Amino acid sequence: MNTQVVLCLALAFLLHGGNAITISFTNNCPYTVWPATLNAASSPVLSTTGFELATGASRSVDVPSPWSGRFWARTRCTGGAGSFKCDTADCGSGQVECNGKGGATPATLAEITVAPNRGQDFYDISNVDGFNLPISMAAQGGSGGCKESSCKANINAQCPNDLKVTASDGSVIACKSACVAFGNPEYCCSGEYNDPNKCKPSSYSQFFSAQCPEAYSYAYDDLKGTFTCNGGPNYDITFCP
């Protein structure tokens, strides 16, 4: 085996920690979605940062251990290379690949921190940045909890008028969180409210919580929003579960 091959194998092992997991994406929505991936600053970029997923289709992505980042789906996308854009959760890259750019709010997020050495993973579905479509995230295998995290309700259908995002035809295509809609520190848990003892549920976050009780409804919703699993399981993310 030549030196170059050995170095490549060694680099792959370091990036994946020898314990890579697989995250599978399935689209059960009656329309095409464009999933996107974004790594945290301390984690490597995945093999794809965005792709198309037709109704009924699935695709898997390998994720190294340790790793931390988020996933979401863009909707109502049009255009080719250099002009690609989406009506919800667009990452602004002009490409199907997001290339390190996050999604525009509002967007339903699936977030995960994959532990090293098959330790304890943390994962959640978050409506802190608002909602654009239902998502679930389920561990496949593992031990110690491993419950499904989800937001299965179509929040757009119930969205309060002051949080609605509408298309040109008047249809509701996304629902803002109060932080996104108004930017107030007490809604965003920012400034003097950047403290779990001061930033409490609002009537808006309680609306999201009632619709999706297993998802984050505001920044300090940790007690019901965070899920854990040990043993390095794989995960299934489903759009419109």
pLDDT at 1: 43
Give the pTM: 0.91
Query: Distance between CA 128 and CA 139 in Å, rounded?
Result: 22
User: Mean pLDDT, consecutive 10-residue segments, the chain of 241 residues?
Assistant: 39 52 98 98 97 98 98 97 96 97 98 96 98 98 95 98 96 98 98 96 97 97 94 97 98
Q: Which residue has the tokens 């600053």?
A: 41
pLDDT at 18: 56
pLDDT at 220: 96
DSSP secondary structure string for all residues of 202-237: -HHHHHHHHH-TTSB-STT-HHHH-EEEES--EEEE
pLDDT at 15: 43
Tokens describing residue 170: 């008047």
Is residue 14 left, alpha or beta, with left meaning phi > 0 and alpha meaning psi from -120 to 50? alpha
Tokens describing residue 214: 């297993």
Q: What share of the chain is helix, strand, coil (3-state, %, to 5)?
A: 20, 35, 45
Tokens describing residue 162: 């002051």
- 239 phi and psi angles, rounded to 5 deg: -95, 130
The CATH homologous superfamily to which domain 3-177+226-239 belongs is: Thaumatin (2.60.110.10)
